[in-house]
Chain A
């Protein structure tokens, strides 16, 4: 009469669909993952403070930055905060007592994040195309890989905060880091325009590493910035390690 566990792929699909639905059900998530990146693109493209070289449009500089903001908002802000509240509501604990394994829960969250990020990339790309005739240049395939590394890094940072901090602190921390990274990460404002004393710090941030690597892959003829790529991978390792270490059902 007992029912053994369902095949993992079925449980995983159901959980991922639920995570996705719950994310899109909250207005503040839609604001931070879809509306804000598009507004940032439109605002900074017309603000004339973005560096352009002859023959390129502000969008060429901005799109990699906005894509960086997009994966940061989905992984660190939206996923981190949602997971922190799931933990404080006992949802994670209850799931821990179900046949869905821990790896299945993380995979479901990852899947939901990837679906959202694919939507973000499509939306940002279309807006840039429509408004600024932006075209992907350089090595778009490589850009996708780099963006994926960044997505994993920021999702792991969100999960690490959700596991290590109270929900209220995760909420404050994720939003605080979001603003900090937006200002210091070279996403809309070049790092060398920042005050001299912040620049060395800004160069070490994961957001800066992702953004400059991504920008290089989308610039024709630009060399891959090895230092930034190594830094990004290092951040990825640290963030994943922290997320694994701090993960708690309760």
Chain B
């Protein structure tokens, strides 16, 4: 996979990262990251923990400075030109940012007062489903309610570009759906959005394009449909009760590639699913391994993600996607 930039559809990009690198001491957080986002586009940044999602977003928000590379948001350098950018930008931190003793309505009115023509705080509260708790202190809110308040704070200035760092983390499925609808509407109004997420379904559903980050690199960036098409057909997910070495599975005729995803699990790219299923089941039995799960899939964003990022970390990341509901 290359980290070559995928050209935005048309015109001057709203957001541009070119050859961006970032180190924290001895740890390299980002290397040669190049991405563009067109005006009105929604880019989802997907990746395991530590892949560099938050670092990427925080460089765009102006919280961190890239060591190398070019960064532009609405034509401004967020590091040098933050004061000009901030009134046009909305952001949602991954966690925190709210003072427990503040009331919901107070927080929104405070942020509204930073902008010349803010959105109506009451309308916004109703839109994110918090009108009923406007008088509550923030410390009394549930995790999901805090997330929705953070989202409202991100939007109160009617931003042209919006950065949402894991906007639905900690939400129950119903709140998550509500938030997805809300983000879709926002996108419909022409807001440029970058969101990071752990949830495949979220990326698949909301994003115009998905960038998959792995160990600080962009390993893929395309529309969800193209990514799923490029996932080279069908997969077989294998989970075994004990740790095992899946490498010999590559010898089976129907198996084209093996990607370990954990000590007892792997994803196989297969030619002919029924034949592969039979062959893998027989192999496991010969090895005395007890299969817990053999699942033919293919073409889901999750499969592509697992193939590209591999590793136990990636597998753990995808678990909550199921809880997102289907």
Contacts and interface: CB of A to CB of B under 8 A. Distances in A.
Interface of A: 1-7, 10-11, 13-15, 18, 21-22, 25-26, 86, 89-91, 93-94, 96-101, 249-250
Contact of B114 (A6, A26, A89, A250): A6
A2 B160 contact: yes
B109 to A, nearest CB: 8
Interface of B: 61-63, 83, 86-89, 91, 93, 95-102, 106, 109-111, 113-118, 153, 157-160, 190
Nearest to A96: B63
A97 B62 contact: yes
Given A4-B117, A97-B89, A97-B93, 12 more contacts: A1-B190, A4-B115, A5-B87, A11-B114, A14-B113, A15-B113, A25-B101, A26-B101, A91-B97, A98-B111, A100-B114, A101-B83
A56 B190 CA distance: 74
B55 to A, nearest CB: 13
Given A90-B95, A93-B93, A3 B153 contact: no
Majority secondary structure of chain B interface residues (helix, strand, loop or mixed): loop
B87 A93 contact: no
A93 B96 contact: yes
Majority secondary structure of chain A interface residues (helix, strand, loop or mixed): loop
A25 B113 CA distance: 21
Contact of B101 (A15, A22, A94): A22
A91 B107 CA distance: 11
Contacts of B88: 2, 4
Contact of A89 (B61, B83, B86, B99): B99
Contacts of A5: 86-87, 114-116
A94 B107 CA distance: 12
B102 A98 contact: no
B87 A90 contact: no
B110 A89 contact: no
Contact of A93 (B97, B106, B115): B97
A1 B98 CA distance: 27
A6 B114 CA distance: 5
B113 A1 contact: no
A52 B117 CA distance: 61
Most B CB within 10 A of own CB, among A18, A90, A91, A99: A99
B99 to A, nearest CB: 5
A2 B110 contact: no
Contacts of B113: 6, 10-11, 13-15
Contacts of A21: 106
Given A3-B118, A6-B113, A91-B98, A97 B61 contact: yes
A11 B114 CA distance: 5
Contact of B100 (A1, A89, A94): A89
A96 B91 CA distance: 11
Contacts of A15: 110, 113
B96 A89 contact: yes
A3 B102 contact: no
Given A22-B101, A26-B101, A90-B96, A3 B63 contact: no
Nearest to A90: B96
Given A93-B97, A98-B111, A2 B159 contact: yes
A22 B139 CA distance: 13
Nearest to A250: B63
28 contacts: A1-B190, A3-B115, A3-B157, A4-B115, A5-B114, A5-B116, A6-B115, A11-B114, A14-B113, A15-B113, A21-B106, A22-B102, A89-B97, A89-B98, A90-B93, A91-B98, A91-B99, A93-B63, A94-B96, A97-B86, A97-B93, A98-B86, A98-B114, A98-B157, A99-B87, A100-B114, A101-B83, A249-B63
